[in-house]
Amino acid sequence: MSDIESRIDTTRPHTARIWNYWTGGKDNYPVDREAGDRIRALHPGIGEYAKADRLFLGRAVRHLAGQEGIRQFLDIGTGLPSADNTHEVAQRIAPDARVVYVDNDPLVLAHARALLVGTPEGRTDYLDADLRDIDTILAAASKTLDLSQPVALMLLGVVIFIEDDEESYAIVRRLLDALAPGSHLVLSHTVTHPEMPDVDEAVAFWNEHGTPKLTQRTPAAVARYFDGLELLEPGVVSCSAWRPETPTPDVAMYAGVGRK
């Protein structure tokens, strides 16, 4: 058994694997499916959040690669590989795009090495690191990415695992400070919203039974991650409402894209 495989805990439900279950993937265990079903019973629409977040990723990357000319992507908190991962979307438009994935979940890393293979013209790399390990991430990413040129910093559903508000804002700011002008922040975050009270109940269940624990923030608190950036239209909104091809119901996962 490899060191990565030895770190996989199949006795407790895990966010990445539940997310994978909700999006129709097969990289999950009975404990994840049971927790996913119980959470969905508390909040029947929650499985749609994972799908909406994945669709938002695709739309944001297509815009950045196709309209903004971005050729470098730093995707932290990658999650388990599924259809239309960041490198696939970006390299479909720009075969020379370079993508660095960062995650510290052992199952994600085991699958990433096998599945996330980029184009011959581009580069795809993977780092085993925690979001808090900023210096490690930047030093390793710089071996693949040219940080003197614009980079898209992808933080989808990952700062929710930083409980302290100020620490989470400081992490995002430090990462952005290391990137060149013209770089973009793409961020999504679970929210607490008075019109969606069952979300709070589902999150409370998760934090009691699952790992790692997550923190909800208000839409206004999510918007604060973009302070000092030029927000692209339509701003910080439900990720299902960020430039959708067809109108879809709002979900309690808010997102935005901002330019440095």
Assess contact for 79 and 20: CB atoms under 8 A.
yes
Cα separations in angstroms, 202 against 26, 108, 121, 127, 245 = 23, 24, 43, 31, 29
The C-alpha atoms of residue 197 and residue 218 are separated, in whole angstroms, by 13
pLDDT value, residue 120: 75
The C-alpha atoms of residue 33 and residue 228 are separated, in whole angstroms, by 40
pLDDT per residue rounded down to tens, the chain (260 residues) = 445 555 667 777 777 787 778 777 777 888 888 887 887 777 777 767 778 888 999 999 999 999 999 999 999 987 766 668 899 999 999 999 999 999 887 777 777 766 666 777 888 888 989 999 999 999 999 999 999 999 999 999 899 999 999 999 999 999 999 999 999 999 999 898 767 767 777 778 777 776 678 899 999 999 999 999 999 999 999 999 999 998 888 888 899 999 99
pLDDT value, residue 145: 97
Residues 6+ apart with CB under 8 A from 30: none
Cα separations in angstroms, 194 against 56, 191, 217 = 23, 10, 12
**C-alpha torsion sign, points 163, 51, 75, 114:** positive
Instruction: Name which of 217, 129, 234 is nearest 169 in CA terms.
Output: 217
The C-alpha atoms of residue 183 and residue 199 are separated, in whole angstroms, by 33
Q: Where are the alpha helices (DSSP H) in 101-243?
A: 106-115, 134-141, 165-177, 197-209, 219-223
In this structure, what are the phi and psi dihedrals at residue 35, rounded to the nearest 5 degrees? -65, -40
